[in-house]
Structure 1
Amino acid sequence: MTIAYKKLHDTFARLSRFGHLSAIAGWDAAAMMPPEGGQARSEALAELSVLTHQILTAKQVGEWLEQAGGEQLNDVEQANLREMRRHYQQAALLPESLVQAKSLAGARCEQAWRIQRKSNDWEGFADNLKEVVKLSRQEAQLRSEAAGISRYDALLDLYEPGMTSQKLDVLFGDLKTWLPDLLQTVVEKQKSETRIAPQGPFDIEKQRQLGLKVMERLGFNFGAGRLDVSAHPFCGGVPQDVRITTRYNEDEFLSAMMGVIHETGHARYEQNLPKEWLGQPVSNARSMGVHESQSLLFEMQLGCSEPFLKSVYPLVIEQFGHRKGLDESNFMKLNQRVQPGFIRVDADELSYPAHVILRYEIEKALMEGDVEVDDIPALWNSKMKEYLGINTVGNYRDGCMQDIHWTDGGFGYFPTYTLGAMYAAQLFQTANKAIPTLQDDIVRGDLTALFQWLQQNIWQHGSRFSTDQLIKNATGETLNPAFFRTHLENRYL
């Protein structure tokens, strides 16, 4: 290992260890921490963010990056250097004071949101969100000026490198030309089908046991991860210690089960990132679009398919027994039901893109300064009525307060969900061609071949390749949204 590169390698390994602590502390704040611990935790995490910012933006790091560019490096080291440079450049743009202020404001807003959402307190939430938006705009402006791109694109690039709002407008614009009609057609088609809501209550502990058994079926490594409860389902932690959460409702169990499947997709990706590169930027997940492709491949492509539902149906009966609405046929129909609703995380895959496009359009306008926080509820309601025919006036809890992302300044993240859905369709259809027995394997509960394919084509590569190159290597072409349309039409028409 060459001199400058070795110094960078050691520095980023140190940063990774601090990131480990931050990730576990963040998980604890969401899943375990008592309410009165919030202020101290916010201050501790803000201090940690400042410390890592100081280490990453130190003058010598920039010098080592320049020197390492002239050293003899192998392909993986060159990819790692590229990612190191990207991390350094992103961090060096921001003053320490902004990093600290944004961390504190985000933690404060998120922790208050957990209570404010339950009480439908938009005014209280808006007060905190305004500070987060102000600081996020400052960050976006600095990044925009440095990169010569729009403020929103500068934030989008943090989550999906290489993606722009211009590209998104084309992708989402195409969706708008055919998805509303398909959604309406399927809704009308399903009106003639009988679906019976299973009769609860569904014991929370039995729901948890079902989730654990499904995670086991999906290959989750319980020696390097765990399942807990939080206000908003998420996957956190680090590859060696992945923490996923869900939430439960005694009246129905499908939301929790599908939430677990979704987060397990994230977790399997994390648990199978290249172990020989762990602690280095090249070992990280390629992008949030790729990350969401794994969760949505698990949840939608696999989890809502008839073969998979057949395979897990006995696990459902094992926990809840035979009861009205839980016959196998109805269980299949419930998991492929298309019905526009308020909540994004519970949305069917035909409605889901509308939820994402709505958020994308609002957050882009918010970051560009075209709208303000006080405008969000009316905008939200207008777009929900236009896209899904749903009125959210006064219902902030199930409307513009339902997501956690904006509370800590995660502007630019939402588009990655629909990008992920498109990647997932493309990957799964390619895997089906590569594994002729896959559908039969799934019915038998044997997912070995699928996981081996994902390991070979996605998981083991970390951030070695660009997103476009990764998808092209796996499927033979870069993102092609036609796969997504084909999937939806084949499943629902």
Structure 2
Amino acid sequence: MSWQKLDDLSNSLEAFEHALSILGADEATNMPAGGGEKRAEAMSALAAQHHELATAPAIAEWIETAENADLADDQRIGLAEFKRRYVNATCLPSDFVRRQTTATMQSEQLWRTLRPSGDWAQFAPALEKVVALAREEAGLRSDVTGLAPYDALMEQFDPGNRVAELNPVFSALKSFLKEFLPEALAAQNERLAKRPLKDFNGPYSIEKQRALGLSAMQGIGFDFNHGRLDVSHHPFCGGVPTDVRMTTRYRTDEFLTALMGVLHETGHALYEQGLPRENAHWPHNKARGMGAHESQSLFVEMQMARSPEFWQWALPLVHEHMGADAIAGWDVEDVLARVNYVERGLIRVDADEITYPLHVILRFELEQELISGALKVSDIPEAWNAKMTEYLGLETLKDPANGPMQDVHWPAGLFGYFPSYTLGAMMAAQQWAAMEKAIPDVGSQISRGDFEAINGWRRDNIWSQGSRWTTPELLTRATGEPLNPDYFTTHLKKRYLG
């Protein structure tokens, strides 16, 4: 029976994915430096076998036969998602994949070497090859899926999102943020004139910071029977739903960066741990995509963990694990002034909640022009500088390292990824508004450390839904309406002008 063959295949694919995920997480956390070469060989061999299994020609026939069989509703939904992934996995010829892999590896390695000096002239030729191949990929995917070229790239990260729907949303958000940022900065300056930022009273031991992070994770619902916290150069959440691997990084001069990183990654982890366990090997029971995943991390980090109610609960945890004198004289308002501090900056990953979307929109707009051919790689620094000047009042023309060379995404050939970051922020705000209607006393629940109802709402509306729906459908079903940027802008006004 074709359905049984697909079920067996899904089990085999999940086994490879499990092994690759755990090996990858271990590589970033515990693997000794000398293990790198053999680890790369092992993971490459497993990835090749996984790809061979996932793209076997016989699968197309199994799918077609199963589509004509008498299936239950859940099976039909699973089959549709399996087919979507199969089509997207098989639409690129092997020769193209080899050429693209070589070009992106060379580009990324060169980027790592040249980024510190910001040598755009030497880097540009390698990026030109990557962009040319990205255009070719977009065309190949478009031919098979029937999607517009850039939509076909976004489909790899957020199924269902389309430029035609996102452009108006991002345009409205951009217009709002350009006007709102000066207002927020003025309001912040007014507050700081009356109540200056408190200084940290470090150093803060890593052991105490870790204890604080573990306590916060446990408090908001992380299941340590199915996950753990480690240290890595860059925080991430990996592993598999039954064995989630989370990381953070620590500084000893302050502790909020590590703690907020832990909370962000815990948002990702709760999503993974909350996915359906029954038939977990089928793709419709896995996480939906990057935007949905980011919405869960930002739901925790931005919507919840930067609120006064959260810190009414969390500040005693700081005193318990870090010591009463760790931030002597600080109260909730002092912590909020730190975690919600706004400033214009060149670097996306360091940006605050207000300016971050402008960094993403800049890249989203340039990506569309690069894929369409309207923008040449040689003209990126000028185009980047023009938008950075317009959106944030900062110049980068003489500083490519902190301009178009700051991210690894383009050197690595990841086009269509950036929109997910800001989509996640908007989705989180919209989910929060819907949840507040369902749980009117959510603020008081948070202030006493009760996260059961909040996690229950997310489990019912997001986590348990896996990949049964496209990203837009998932949001609409959870909140009752399509993506609406007004929820995000209302949230910003309340928090920063409040």
TM-score (norm 1): 0.91
> Which secondary structure does the structure 1 equivalent of 2:458 belong to?
helix
In structure 2, what is the Cα distance between the partners aligned to 1:297 and 1:332? 17
Percent identity over paired residues: 47
Q: Which amino acid aligns with 2:291?
A: G
Deviations 1:224-270 (A, max 9, x none): 22223333332222212222223333333322222221111111101
> Which secondary structure does the structure 2 equivalent of 1:409 belong to?
coil
1:249 aligns to what? 251
Q: Which amino acid aligns with 1:249?
A: R
1:166/1:73 Cα in 2 relative to 1: closer, same or farther (>3 Å)? Answer: same
In structure 1, what is the Cα distance between the partners aligned to 2:382 and 2:198? 33
Q: Is the 8 A contact 1:50 1:96 kept in 2?
A: no
In structure 1, what is the Cα distance between the partners aligned to 2:490 and 2:46? 46
Where does structure 2 lack aligned partners over 5 or more consecutive residues? none
Q: Is the 8 A contact 1:198 1:252 kept in 2?
A: no
Q: Is the 8 A contact 2:264 2:297 kept in 1?
A: yes
1:323/1:265 Cα in 2 relative to 1: closer, same or farther (>3 Å)? Answer: closer
1:254/1:378 Cα in 2 relative to 1: closer, same or farther (>3 Å)? Answer: farther
Matches within 5 A, 1:478-493: 478-493=482-497
> Which secondary structure does the structure 1 equivalent of 2:482 belong to?
coil
1:49/1:267 Cα in 2 relative to 1: closer, same or farther (>3 Å)? Answer: same
Matches within 5 A, 1:419-458: 419-458=423-462
Deviation at 1:63, TM superposition (A): 0.3
2:23 equivalent among 22, 25, 39? 25
Deviations 1:32-57 (A, max 9, x none): 45566656555554443332222222
Q: Which amino acid aligns with 2:59?
A: V
1:402/1:29 Cα in 2 relative to 1: closer, same or farther (>3 Å)? Answer: farther
> Which secondary structure does the structure 1 equivalent of 2:134 belong to?
helix
1:340/1:149 Cα in 2 relative to 1: closer, same or farther (>3 Å)? Answer: same
Q: Is the 8 A contact 1:54 1:96 kept in 2?
A: no
Answer yes or no: is 1:216 the counterpart of 2:218.
yes
What is the total number of aligned residue pairs between the two structures? 491
In structure 1, what is the Cα distance between the partners aligned to 2:283 and 2:277? 12
2:263 equivalent among 249, 261, 270? 261
2:92 equivalent among 91, 94, 98? 94
1:147 aligns to what? 145
1:291 aligns to what? 293
Of 331-340 and 178-187, more deviation after overlay is shown by 331-340
Q: Which amino acid aligns with 2:213?
A: G
> Which secondary structure does the structure 1 equivalent of 2:247 belong to?
strand
In structure 1, what is the Cα distance between the partners aligned to 2:128 and 2:256? 35
Q: Which amino acid aligns with 1:51?
A: Q
Matches within 5 A, 1:232-243: 232-243=234-245
Deviation at 1:284, TM superposition (A): 1.2
Deviation at 1:315, TM superposition (A): 2.2
1:144/1:38 Cα in 2 relative to 1: closer, same or farther (>3 Å)? Answer: farther
Deviations 1:178-222 (A, max 9, x none): 221111111111111123253343333433332222222221222
In structure 1, what is the Cα distance between the partners aligned to 2:330 and 2:129? 47
Matches within 5 A, 1:294-309: 294-309=296-311
Q: Is the 8 A contact 1:46 1:100 kept in 2?
A: no
Answer yes or no: is 1:319 the counterpart of 2:342.
no
1:171 aligns to what? 169
In structure 1, what is the Cα distance between the partners aligned to 2:277 and 2:21? 18
Q: Which amino acid aligns with 2:237?
A: C
1:390/1:101 Cα in 2 relative to 1: closer, same or farther (>3 Å)? Answer: same
1:463 equivalent among 463, 467, 475? 467
Q: Which amino acid aligns with 1:281?
A: P
Q: Is the 8 A contact 1:42 1:108 kept in 2?
A: no
Matches within 5 A, 1:63-142: 63-103=61-101, 106=104, 129-142=127-140
> Which secondary structure does the structure 2 equivalent of 1:160 belong to?
coil
Deviation at 1:371, TM superposition (A): 3.3
1:56 aligns to what? 54
Deviation at 1:408, TM superposition (A): 3.2
> Which secondary structure does the structure 2 equivalent of 1:405 belong to?
coil
1:440/1:187 Cα in 2 relative to 1: closer, same or farther (>3 Å)? Answer: same
Of 100-109 and 403-412, more deviation after overlay is shown by 100-109
TM-score (norm 2): 0.90
1:439/1:327 Cα in 2 relative to 1: closer, same or farther (>3 Å)? Answer: closer
What RMSD over aligned residues (CA atoms) do the two structures have, in Å?
2.7
2:478 aligns to what? 474
In structure 2, what is the Cα distance between the partners aligned to 1:242 and 1:347? 27
Q: Is the 8 A contact 2:346 2:402 kept in 1?
A: yes
Q: Is the 8 A contact 1:46 1:103 kept in 2?
A: no
In structure 1, what is the Cα distance between the partners aligned to 2:491 and 2:474? 21
1:186 aligns to what? 184
Deviation at 1:6, TM superposition (A): 1.1
In structure 1, what is the Cα distance between the partners aligned to 2:99 and 2:34? 20
Q: Is the 8 A contact 1:42 1:103 kept in 2?
A: no
Deviation at 1:466, TM superposition (A): 2.9
Answer yes or no: is 1:198 the counterpart of 2:199.
yes
Q: Which amino acid aligns with 1:459?
A: W
1:33/1:384 Cα in 2 relative to 1: closer, same or farther (>3 Å)? Answer: farther
Q: Which amino acid aligns with 2:435?
A: A
